Amino acid sequence: MRNDHFYRDSWVEINLDHVEYNIKQLAAHIGEDKGIYGVVKANAYGHGYVQVAQTALDAGAQALAVAFLDEALHLRKNGVHAAILVLGATRPEDAAIAADHDISLTFYRKDWLEAVRTQRFRKPLQLHMKLDTGMGRLGFRTEEEIHAALPLLDVPSLHLEGVYTHFATADDADLAYFEGQRSKFDKLYKSLQKAWPHPLIVHSDNSAASMRFAADESDFVRFGIGMYGLYPSKIVKEEHPIALRQAFSLHSKLVHVKQLEAHEAVSYGATYETNKAEWIGTLPIGYADGWIRKMQGFEVLVEGKRMPIVGRVCMDQCMVKLDKAYPNGTEVVLIGMQQNAFISMDEVADWIDTINYEVPCLIAARMPRVYKRSGRIVEVANALSPGESL
Ligand SMILES: Cc1ncc(COP(=O)(O)O)c(C=O)c1O
């Protein structure tokens, strides 16, 4: 790619048509009565906060969810007006900023409400009560805890907007634990309803639950990994409840192609040695970009053929063994499709013993993100210089 927006030959491409497709697939699957929170925390799982948020909303998501208040404020500052829920912990002293920007916060402790209810806000603070039904992370765990907290909400500055929980095993083959969480949620929610007979937004399903068990009582689902075209687990991928399209691909170019003699070494530690004359290509991407040292031995695509990464991955570069001489500037795909060959996010995740969620999150902010619609570039965002619409 030749452009005036970044000056290196490695970049991420985000296919926004695929984000749209994935949202529409889920919306059709869960039906019109349920809304969708597009989960865009962690820079939209490495895909780009604002671009994904806007695409998700245009495609039919009604609201957004993030982990931290900073992320919600980033969306607001970039012109996102939709409802945003912060899923994680927010300090009580930061509640006023959330209220000012119409950002809904999660609470899960009585003492947090005590600290917040005495504050004065310009607008009522929207709150969601988090129930811990088995994730063991954040949330009220018992009816007693819930009933002790509810009276503290009885001030005009606070508005209880929703109630939710999070499932730990909705992507598993064995559903016993999931069913247990679901019935615990039903029990706690019913008990809450008795003491709090006001309308509430109820939401509990993540991607796995929303794709596999759409027919439950909740009003909204929280759709994260599926929106990016990735299945939450191998089980769900095999079940294939809906079709998804991977939005993220990773690209680079050969910046130096040379032939080494037999018994010459490549990279730090000289751990790779040629056993005959070999063509070696250098890629300008390394572990500082999130292409971590464990990627050694994995493969990349050159002209649709797989070539192995040889020698240690350096901070900013790595080397591949080529089957022949290729011109400098030849495009290489590290994740995604080239000609008819495909390297999936799942394959990369398997290689480094992790889950697909972690891989796009690992790809560093310094890596430019190129956004495409109908095959055309619509935006290039580069953390090293401000994004620009084309
Ligand atoms: C509270 C909460 N809800 C929803 C999600 C989205 O989950 P998924 O990406 O599996 O759809 C997450 C992600 O970790 C989360 O922490």
Give, as one character, the DSSP assignment of residue 169: S
Residue 64: partners with Cβ closer than 8 Å, 6 or more residues away: 37, 38, 39, 40, 53, 56, 57, 72, 75, 80, 82, 83, 84, 85
Going by alpha carbons, the residue nearest to atom 8 of ligand 1 is 224
Q: Domain for residue 273, yes or no? A: yes
List the CATH number of the domain containing 108: 3.20.20.10
- Indicate if 268 belongs to the active site: yes
DSSP codes, 313-346:
--SS-EEEEESS---TT-EEEEEEEETTEEE-HH
Rounded CA separation 319/254 (Å)? 9
Rounded CA separation 73/184 (Å)? 33
Q: Which of 34, 37, 41, 326 is catalytic?
A: 41
Do 43 and 137 sit in the same domain of this protein? yes
Q: How far is the CA of 65 from the centre of ligand 1 (A)?
A: 9
Q: Domain for residue 3, yes or no? A: no
Rounded to the nearest angstrom, the gap between the alpha carbon of residue 135 and the centroid of all alpha carbons in its chain is 19
Do 227 and 254 sit in the same domain of this protein? no
Rounded CA separation 145/353 (Å)? 39
Q: What one-letter code names the amino acid at 293? A: R
Pull the structure tokens for residue 251: 């690209």
Rounded CA separation 94/116 (Å)? 9
Do 196 and 296 sit in the same domain of this protein? no
- Indicate if 190 belongs to the active site: no
CB contact at 8 A, 134 and 168? yes
Task: Pick the last residue of a domain from 205, 232, 259.
Answer: 232
Per-residue pLDDT of the chain (390 residues; tens, 9 = 90+): 556 689 999 999 999 999 999 999 999 999 999 999 999 999 999 999 999 999 999 999 999 999 999 999 999 999 999 999 999 999 999 999 999 999 999 999 999 999 999 999 999 999 999 999 999 999 999 999 999 999 999 999 999 999 999 999 999 999 999 999 999 999 999 999 999 999 999 999 999 999 999 667 799 999 999 999 999 999 999 999 999 999 999 999 999 999 999 999 999 999 999 999 999 999 999 999 999 999 999 999 999 999 999 999 999 999 999 999 999 999 999 999 999 999 999 999 999 999 999 999 999 999 999 999 999 999 999 888 765 555
- Other beta carbons within 10 Å of 195: 11
Q: How far is the CA of 207 from the centre of ligand 1 (A)?
A: 7
Closest ligand 1 atom, residue 41 Cα? 13
Do 255 and 182 sit in the same domain of this protein? no
Do 259 and 382 sit in the same domain of this protein? yes
Helices (H), the chain: 16-30, 41-46, 49-59, 69-77, 95-100, 110-117, 143-149, 176-195, 207-212, 234-239, 345-351, 358-362
Q: Domain for residue 8, yes or no? A: no
Q: Domain for residue 10, yes or no? A: no
Do 176 and 283 sit in the same domain of this protein? no
Do 226 and 309 sit in the same domain of this protein? no
Q: How far is the CA of 244 from the centre of ligand 1 (A)?
A: 17
Q: How far is the CA of 3 from the centre of ligand 1 (A)?
A: 36
- For the chain, the domain total comes to 2
Residue 54 sits in which domain range?
A: 16-232
Going by alpha carbons, the residue nearest to atom 13 of ligand 1 is 224
Closest ligand 1 atom, residue 45 Cα? 9
Do 278 and 155 sit in the same domain of this protein? no
Rounded CA separation 230/345 (Å)? 8
List the CATH number of the domain containing 307: 2.40.37.10
Q: Which of 190, 194, 268, 324 is catalytic?
A: 268
Pocket test for ligand 1, best of 26, 39, 90 (most atoms within 8 A of CB): 39
C-alpha pair distances (Å), 70 with each of 43, 64, 345, 353: 11, 14, 28, 30
Ligand 1 site residues, Cβ closer than 6 angstroms: 39, 87, 166, 206-208, 222-226, 232
Pull the structure tokens for residue 245: 């399209």
Q: Domain for residue 240, yes or no? A: no
Q: Domain for residue 120, yes or no? A: yes
Strand 83-86 relative to strand 103-107: parallel, antiparallel, unpaired? parallel
Q: Domain for residue 1, yes or no? A: no
Which phi and psi angles does 201 have, rounded to 5°? -80, 125
Q: Domain for residue 11, yes or no? A: no
